[in-house]
Structure 1
Amino acid sequence: MSYLETTAQFYSEVAQTPDVGLCCVQSTPLRLPDLVVPEAMQAMNYGCGTTVHPAELAGEPKVLYVGVGGGLEALQFAYFSRRPGGVIAVDPVAEMREAAQRNLAIAAEANSWFAEDFVTLLAGDAFALPVPDASVDVVAQNCLFNIFEPEDLSRALAETFRVLKPGGRLIMSDPIATRPIPAHLQQDERLRAMCLSGALTYEQYVQRIVRAGFGQVEIRARRPYRLLDRQTYQLDEPLLLESLDSVAFKVPIAPDGPCIFTGKTAIYSGSESCFDDGAGHVLAKGVPAAVCDKTAAKLGAIASEEIWVTPSTWHYDGGGCC
């Protein structure tokens, strides 16, 4: 049995018998006016963070959600689109689609603004999304892509790039590893299905996104997710997994490389009222300005005594240099 077959079997089981602690989600579901999340849907909240960032969802976007789970985030996305077919949710596991459909029916009774046809459930997988090229504004996935082996991850990222409109956004939440995961854990198919052994390091993860063609990546949150202990997982030392929420934009990669925002700022402290690097970045004296990692490195190099570059905060919500 392949790891994908093991994963399908595993999620068929947890669709029929919800496992509340499966992904160890610690964050409170997004609170929005008049949004009621059914208990059955919350019990199937199989994710490691969130992909629903209101600032990304202006203008009633067309959303494609990959791996529907219990339907929680599909419902949250529908809150912003509010029209028939505004959200398409794709899942290869029939039992999961059936459970999500039941949960969405309950949600329609509990939320006066919501109708079941706001979410279209389709059979399909991340490697062959059942929508045309350049047809959606947002693709989202929560704690799914980390299950894939690296080359399959690249296939899934390429497929999301295909279906996004120019300027569209890939919103993801996945575990990442603070160091490479040992081979004996990577080869454990059930641990991979449980989101515990397929995670890449941060550097590897972002590199795959850029290789798929995304020219800008923004880190929305990075926080502890799980600790793999020595005894249970046969490790020399404990291994921390983190949850990474990110947004990748389908924009061209600049000649000098992609823009990766990790929450860095640049602060000018020289004698003039402002600093202009001649490349579109103007820093007012004493005022922090959000910059991508690439720009931060360049500014630090050209005026190291006059410009302070602060470390990554691993949180960024727009308004930067690019």
Structure 2
Amino acid sequence: MTIETGVLERYSQGAESIQADLCCPVDYDRKLLALLPQEIIDKDYGCGDPSRYVQSGDVVLDLGSGSGKICYMAAQLVGSTGKVIGVDMNDDMLALARKYQPEMAEKLGSDRVEFVKGQIQDLALDLAAMNRHLAEHPVRRAEDVIALRAWQEQQRKEQPLIKDNSVDLVVSNCVLNLVHDSDKAQLIKEIFRVVKPGGRVAISDIVSDESVPQHLKDDQQLWSGCISGAVQEHEFLQAFIAAGFVAVSFDKWEAQPWQVVEGIEFRSVTITAIKPHDEPCLDRGHAVIYRGPFAKTYDDEGHVFLRGQRMAVCERSYNLLTGATYADQFIGIAPAQERTPQNWCHAPGTLRAASETKGSAHKADSGSCCC
């Protein structure tokens, strides 16, 4: 039995009957749960609550949506202008989630949730469409395999399951660890592909404090139980940075491990990240002041910010550092006079003279300015 078939079988069992050992204790918002059918709640298997990062009007993508619990919670938060898409490859879980779509649409006032079949490490390939294609074009010979691959590539380009730059927020609840190690980097690249510039990620998952040895990875029960497929905690963050995300951080960290196996601690965390805007780095005269408490800090692009100093930044960095994610750490200072934008050419740690920003608007916190 492969990892993939083991996971499918375990979660098909979870759709049939409650599997208590597949989830960690999580304190979900009871107001959001009140609207959900009890079967969806009972047969959901997670380790965190990424729904609390959902905003009104968001297009939300839930990776490994399972029973649909997080999707239906998020649907209450996105409102009538938002949308929620759940992706899962398990037919039994998809059937369970879809079973309550009419009921939930009536409760919500609109049908704003959709469940689609796909692998989260290949969000461009529609597996339901592939099943229909295989019914008409079964694979019997080696040449059929080549033809199928060509069809898959065409589908990814022309009719992707999830389009590029189409999602405001990607969430997931204890699913990334179930993906084969060889596919994890591709999975995070796919997340980056589908998120809009400026879009967010909120991933609740299990991480390990040490690298997991191969003999534990080979244990089907531990892998399908969300244990031995866990990524080492630092490597988990680095994988999102390597994919191009910024503001990558542990927003939630459980002090007590969920399980300890051979001395390795496995715990629930929630990481958040932002996809930066794809725009040139232009100098328009902006500056930021790092509030402290440290003498200096660095970002993932190599910029250094000295405490209390007016640091020169490009307009793109200014918008990021004065947005909601960093607003409590930086004071933004817009240029006093409009200037012709120039390509950024300053070395890290360059200061902005007070004379260049004197009398300008200071962005002291998110959404407010003072002079």
| TM-score normalised by the chain length of structure 1 | 0.74
3-state DSSP of counterpart to 1:52: helix
1:154 corresponds in structure 2 to 185
Q: 1:127-156 CA deviation, whole Å, 9 max, x = no partner?
A: 222111111111111111112233311111
**Against the structure 1 CA distance between its residues 293 and 43, is the aligned structure 2 distance closer, same or farther, given a 3 Å change threshold?**
farther
Percent of pairs with identical residues: 26
Q: How does 1:23-38 map to 2 (within 5 A)?
A: 23-24=23-24, 26-32=25-31, 35-38=34-37
Q: Which residue of 1 aligns with 2:281?
A: none
Distance of aligned partners of 1:135 and 1:317 in 2 relative to their CA distance in 1, 3 Å threshold: closer
1:77 aligns with 2:60: no
Please list the CA deviations of residues 182-234 of structure 1 after superposition, one character each: whole Å capped at 9, or x if unmatched: 221112133111101111111110111111111221322000342224xxxxx
User: In structure 2, what is the equivalent of residue 281 of structure 1?
Assistant: 289
Alpha-carbon distance in 1 for matches of 2:202, 2:236: 14
Partner of 2:226: 195
- Distance in structure 1 (CA, Å) of the matches to 2:328 and 2:88: 35
Match in the other structure for 1:227 = 259
Q: Specify which structure has the bigger relative contact order, considering alpha-carbon pairs within 8 angstroms and separated by 6 or more residues.
A: 1
Counterpart check, 1:172 vs 2:172: no
What SS does the corresponding residue of 2:27 show, helix, strand or coil?
coil
| Alignment check: 8 A CA contact 1:216 1:251 kept | no
Indicate if the aligned counterparts of 2:63 and 2:86 stay in contact, CA closer than 8 A. yes
Distance 2:86 2:120 in 1: 11
Q: Secondary structure at the match of 1:32?
A: helix
- Secondary structure of 1:73's counterpart equals helix
**How do 1:96-115 and structure 2 match up within 5 A?**
96-108=93-105, 112-115=107-110
- Once the two structures are superposed, the pairs formed by residues 14-93 of structure 1 within 5 Å of their partners are 14-24=14-24, 26-32=25-31, 35-53=34-52, 56-83=53-80, 86-93=83-90
Q: Which amino acid aligns with 2:14?
A: V
Evaluate the alpha carbon distance shift between residue 23 and residue 100 of structure 1 in structure 2; reply closer, same or farther with a 3 A threshold. same
Residue matched to 2:336: none
SS in 1 for 2:249: strand
Report the alpha carbon displacement of residue 80 of structure 1 after superposing the two structures with TM: 1.6
1:246 aligns with 2:277: no
- Using the alignment, how far apart are the partners of 2:204 and 2:32 within structure 1? 24
Give the corresponding residue for 2:327.
319
Q: Is the 8 A contact 1:66 1:89 kept in 2?
A: yes
Amino acid at match of 1:49: G
Deviation at 1:240, TM superposition (A): 1.5
In structure 2, which of residues 112, 118, 126 is the aligned counterpart of residue 124 of structure 1?
A: 118
Considering only CA atoms, is the larger Rg found in Structure 1 or Structure 2? 2
Cα distance between partner residues in 2 of 1:33 and 1:126: 25
Q: How far 1:98 moved relative to its partner?
A: 0.3
The alpha-carbon distance between structure 1 residues 16 and 52, as it changes in their structure 2 partners (threshold 3 A), is: same
Deviation at 1:321, TM superposition (A): 3.5
Kept in 1, the 8 Å contact 2:61–2:86? The answer is yes
RMSD: 3.3
1:72/1:212 CA distance change after superposition, 3 Å: same
- Cα distance per residue 1:59-98 (max 9 Å; x no partner): 4111111111111100111012233871111111111100
Residues 221-262 of structure 1: per-residue CA shift (max 9 Å, x gap):
000342224xxxxx3xx3221111011110169xxxxxxxxx
Unaligned runs of 5+ in 1: 230-234, 254-277, 304-315
Change (3 A) 1:279 1:113: same
TM-score (structure 2 length as normaliser): 0.65
In the other structure, the counterpart of 2:13 is 13
